[in-house]
A and B are shown apart, each in its own frame.
Chain A
Amino acid sequence: MNLAAATNENLAHISNVLIYSSMAVYLLAFFAHMAEWVFGSRSKVGRTAAALTQKPTAQAAAGSVKVQVKEKNGGTAVLERPSVVTRAVSGTRDVPDGPGASGGDEQGDLYGRIAVSLTVLAFLVEASGVLTRALSVQRAPWGNMYEFNITFSTVAVAVYLGLMLAKKNIGWLGLPLVTTVLLDLGLAVTVLYTASDQLVPALHSYWLYIHVSTAIFCGAVFYVGAVSTLLYLFRDAYESKLANGGKPGKFAASVLERLPAAASLDKFSYRVNAAVFPLWTFTIIAGAIWAGDAWGRYWGWDPKETWSFITWVAYACYLHARATAGWKGRKAAYLALIAFGCWLFNYYGVNIFVTGKHSYAGV
């Protein structure tokens, strides 16, 4: 038993070192991203303004294109494919996506690649830190807020890298994400740090794995959704200013110009939020089932339960708003931000300011 305790302490120590190292690498990634944005500002693109002043036209290509189509038997056939004309539907601006942080600048692009590579490295180091922490306590690494924080940021970066692997246009998320991760880890190692230890019996349940892991994942995805919603609001303001013949400030013109079009950001954030909403629903239900076993009631309006419910209803509001005339676009976006605010409060606020049955989660 004592021997085991010693190895556990060693592992916990290694975990701490790894977490600090990952912070150092994230910091480098942060600087690389900054360099990417700074060098990118050299390019003057102005495609948005150009697109907005032209009469909207359909993006079209006559003739036909060759495409490869996977066949059922595993082979591929080259098909002649008539090109598809897409048309921005009435009421939306037909604006191309921005060129990304580097703005097509070669040096900026190089820094951008370095930043992503560093992020991958930092992610690997951080993930090992989480893993060794889990091994040191011989359980899932989410028994207190410190562990929750380090796991949460790891998962958020994993979601980002996953989207990147899936070839989604997500490069714009790099800088805000790395910044938040640094803040999150900084908070974790200073304010929230808790030495590794076992769990109180109330947390001994496989529902811990199910409920908390999905909660962390949902949080990470909601975070991505919230960032894109926020950027949508900025970019949308920028575009409508341009469309109305206004002249945006220099900073806005340089930074916002390089973001994806407002419509793309809006669509992306809707997809992201909608995609995790069922999982969030499941998280709450799993929590209720666990509470039924642990505390003798499924639902007791404990502050944490209440705020999960509020968060859920807020996201339901958002989804409804998108289907309600007059509420699409900016108004719905505000709802999405409020909903994410609820999620954040549920995580930090409730643990710190409100006492309830969940407060043993160890600040």
Chain B
Amino acid sequence: MSTTESGKTGEVSGDELGAAGSHLSTAPQEDRGPTLPRLGVIGWIRWFWRQLTSMRVALILLFMLSLGAIPGSLIPQSGVDEMKVQTFKDAHTTVAPVYDKLGLFHVYSSVWFSAIYILLFISLIGCIVPRTWQFVGQLRGRAPGAPKRFSHLPASATWRTDAEPEQVRAAALEILRKRRFRAHVAGDAVASEKGYLREAGNLIFHIALIVMLIAFAWGQLFKSEGGKLMVEGDGGFSNALPMYDDFKSGNLFNSDTDLTPFSFQLDKFDGTYERNGPNKGSPRVYRANVTYSVGATGKEQKTAIQVNDPLEIDGTKVYLNGHGYAPTVTVRDGRGRIVSRQAVPLLPIDSNVTSTGAIKIMDGYRDKNGKREQLGFNAFFVPTFAGSGKGNMFSQFPALDYPVLALSAYHGSLGVDSGIPQNVYQLDTSKMKKFTDSKGELLKTRLRPGETMKLPNGAGSITFDKDIKQWASFQITHQPGDGWALAGALAAIAGLAGSLFIQRRRVWVRATPGADGVTVVEMGGLGRSESSKVAEELGDLAAHLHEQAPSAADPQPAVPAEGAEK
């Protein structure tokens, strides 16, 4: 141990101070250069382990972690926005495959990023465990005895007094203990130390990091997250796998037991938007009013879900994450019989809620010859139309000021049975025929609420009803381990504060009979790092001790304490 003593005591060289400067922290010692092991496999493993748990490697790994996080913020990530990734891949056909190989589209779950943080945490554990034992040992032990010469310490004071050495030591002991130094008499001096909380805080901080990582990992393994789009007044949602539009879960998630039983339905969506100013169109009120019940047979309760205000039921949270319109359309066949009346949710494509989607009539429709057929409409909807002749079908404002629905009509087979999963918002027209107008072009019309588009040759009609509904989409998540992560985070802050704001320092007081029978008092202070606080505190302590052991009346010229000349 003695060869590595130096370097532990801040900048003070251990050679000058000997044992007095040792163990002022539990930071691991640095290996001096790469002394390669000579002995076989075990030697190598030992060497590798010592490297991995050294401060230098921790530093390098930390640095690599921050470097490694950068590409993920500049390249689109599939976990964040799949669409953007696709666009990027289409636009950069040469680099995209390389990026793909390197896992750059999912940096934070890539092999190399995981390798960095797993190594870091192994290093952390390998570092924390011995440091904790060492710290416990320090708590049990006592401050090391005084160095031979105090003049090497960053702060020291000396004077001569008529008080007896024992008296001085007793007084020093009392003064130091009153200030919560851990003090004891060692030989002709009092040795004391204070600020162990610094080390404790540092250990707590690093342990809290481990707790947070475990909590996150736990949460990832057991979490579930799904989306559900609901139209106002629709039937309710109850929390079971088949009810979700899309669903993701961690590897250890069990859908039979891990879904919290509850149900809810969307009563009404309230949205208002800024009418004027530069932020025109930004949402002001944005609220889903819902009715929910907990458990299978719970009482019905009403509440509102807003953007910053999810509904929380037994650790499951229901977030409002999107909104749009669902125009109600009525489809009639050639004889005027209603085939379908439904509110069709359309997907917004811009911030003014210009929306697109598809209306699909799967069954119930027969053409004028009585033959079964399917109908399909491409729908384009704007809540606020610019006015005919004024540009395109792009909405001018998100509220329902002047709604217009544009439709184009097809008939034939929707291709729903082909086995390929279909996007409900898109029409697959490969097996469909266009309805055509008098000029033989695709039949399309812009409708105002209440208006009807007639299909040619008595094929029926479609009416844009006045009742335009809104829909809201919800994200339903359950992530266990949140509590632990939060507790870890708070402990980390507390530990950090302790570690950074508390100084660990030692104070020694030596009292020896001088040559002329007068007692020589020497005081010295040593901090972990050079700090003016140590000198100030020493001055303060000296003042108090001086009160009880005042300077000898007749100051002799200079006690030979080297370096103490004026």
Contacts and interface: CB of A to CB of B under 8 A. Distances in A.
Interface of A: 57-58, 60-64, 67, 69, 79-92, 194-195, 197-198, 200-202, 204-205, 207, 267, 274-275, 277-278, 281-282, 285, 288-290, 292-303, 306-307, 309-310, 313-314, 316-317, 319-321, 323-328, 335, 342, 350, 354, 362
B525 to A, nearest CB: 8
A301 B62 contact: no
A4 to B, nearest CB: 13
B319 A310 contact: no
B543 interface: yes
Nearest to A263: B530
Contact of B489 (A81, A198, A285): A285
B283 A82 contact: no
Contacts of B501: 275
Closest 5 CB pairs of A and B: A296-B319, A313-B66, A81-B543, A306-B73, A58-B563
B546 to A, nearest CB: 5
Contacts of A294: 307-308
Given A297-B477, A320-B58, A324-B55, A310 B500 contact: no
A91 to B, nearest CB: 6
A277 B500 contact: yes
B382 interface: no
B547 interface: yes
B538 interface: yes
Contacts of B70: 306, 310
Nearest to B13: A90
A295 B319 contact: yes
Contacts of B63: 313-314, 317, 335
A21 B477 CA distance: 50
Q: Which of A60, A85, A89, A301 has the largest number of chain B CB atoms within 10 A? A: A85
Interface string B320-346: 010000000000000000000000000
A296 B317 contact: yes
B493 A282 contact: yes
Interface string B101-117: 00000011000000000
Nearest to B6: A325
A88 B505 CA distance: 17
Contacts of B277: 195, 197
B154 A197 contact: no
Interface of B: 7, 10-13, 16, 25, 27, 30, 55-56, 58-59, 62-63, 65-66, 69-70, 72-74, 77, 79-80, 107-108, 151-159, 216, 225, 274, 277-279, 282-286, 306-310, 317, 319, 321, 475, 477, 479, 482, 485-486, 489-490, 492-493, 496-497, 500-501, 521, 523, 530-532, 535, 538-540, 542-544, 546-547, 550-551, 555, 558, 563-566
A306 B274 contact: no
Contacts of B490: 285
Chain B interface SS verdict (over half): mixed
B543 A80 contact: yes
Contacts of A300: 79-80
A266 to B, nearest CB: 10
Contacts of B479: 297-298
Contact of A84 (B216, B284, B531, B542): B542
A58 B69 CA distance: 48
Given A202-B308, A306-B73, A327-B59, A82 B551 contact: yes
B546 A301 contact: no
A295 B475 CA distance: 9
A302 to B, nearest CB: 7
Contacts of A328: 11
Given A79-B543, A84-B535, A92-B530, A321 B59 contact: yes
Contacts of B158: 82, 85
Contact of B307 (A202, A303, A310): A202
Given A89-B154, A90-B12, 17 more contacts: A60-B566, A64-B546, A82-B158, A82-B543, A82-B551, A84-B539, A85-B155, A87-B153, A92-B530, A198-B282, A201-B284, A277-B500, A281-B492, A290-B308, A298-B479, A301-B77, A313-B66
A352 to B, nearest CB: 13
Nearest to A77: B547
Given A282-B493, A300-B80, A307 B55 contact: no
A348 to B, nearest CB: 14
A321 to B, nearest CB: 6
A281 B278 CA distance: 35
A62 B555 CA distance: 11
Contact of A195 (B152, B278, B306, B497): B278
A278 B497 contact: yes
A200 B66 contact: no
7 contacts: A62-B558, A86-B154, A87-B153, A89-B154, A200-B283, A278-B493, A289-B486
